[in-house]
């Protein structure tokens, strides 16, 4: 059985955010064009990295999530989104994913705690 780290919950949160991002084009009527494609691709990548971090943690996964989160935050301007709702969703979710990834990286480097259940 895999030993759970205290920071594992942050990967679960990122998994949930990635799932919401993947579904957001259908929920907010922005499924056509570059807005939908960006949300789907970024959502799948966030889901994949978060699930991989849950199964077998490696620090590079958190760096990947941080970069994806920052990409989501700037992608509305880079790709020229026309839908203000899609813009707000991408910026908000991107900042949340980047924050959670940065927080986990900070925990890894500054709080070397033993895995849960190892006491």
State the residue for tokens 């939908």: 36
Q: Does 119 score more than 80 pLDDT?
A: no
Cα separation, 16 vs 12, in Å, equals 6
Cα separation, 54 vs 15, in Å, equals 9
Q: Does 18 score more than 80 pLDDT?
A: yes
Confidence class of residue 9 from pLDDT cuts 50, 70 and 90?
Answer: confident
The separation between the first and the last C-alpha atoms of the chain, rounded to the nearest angstrom, is 16
Q: How do residues 33-66 score in pLDDT, each as one tens digit?
A: 788 888 899 999 999 999 998 888 778 888 999 9
The count of residues in the chain is 119
Model-level pTM greater than 0.75?
yes
- Does 3 reside within a domain? no
- 82, 40 in Cβ contact below 8 A? no
- Does 2 reside within a domain? no
- Does 100 reside within a domain? yes
- Does 116 reside within a domain? no
- Does 55 reside within a domain? yes
Structure confidence at residue 98 (pLDDT) = 96
Domain tally, the chain: 1
Domain enclosing residue 64, as ranges:
8-110
- Does 115 reside within a domain? no
């Amino acid at each position: 059985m895999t030993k759970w780290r205290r920071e594992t919950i942050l990967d679960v949160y990122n998994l949930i955010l990635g799932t919401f991002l993947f579904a957001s084009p259908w929920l907010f009527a922005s499924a056509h064009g570059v807005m939908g494609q960006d949300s789907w691709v970024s959502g799948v990548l966030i889901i994949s990295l978060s699930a991989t971090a849950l199964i077998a943690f490696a620090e590079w996964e958190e760096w990947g999530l941080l970069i994806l989160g920052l990409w989501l935050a700037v992608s509305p301007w880079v790709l020229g989104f026309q839908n203000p709702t899609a813009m707000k969703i991408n910026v908000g979710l991107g900042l949340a994913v980047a924050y959670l990834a940065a927080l986990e990286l900070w925990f890894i480097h500054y709080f070397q705690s033993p895995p849960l259940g190892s006491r």
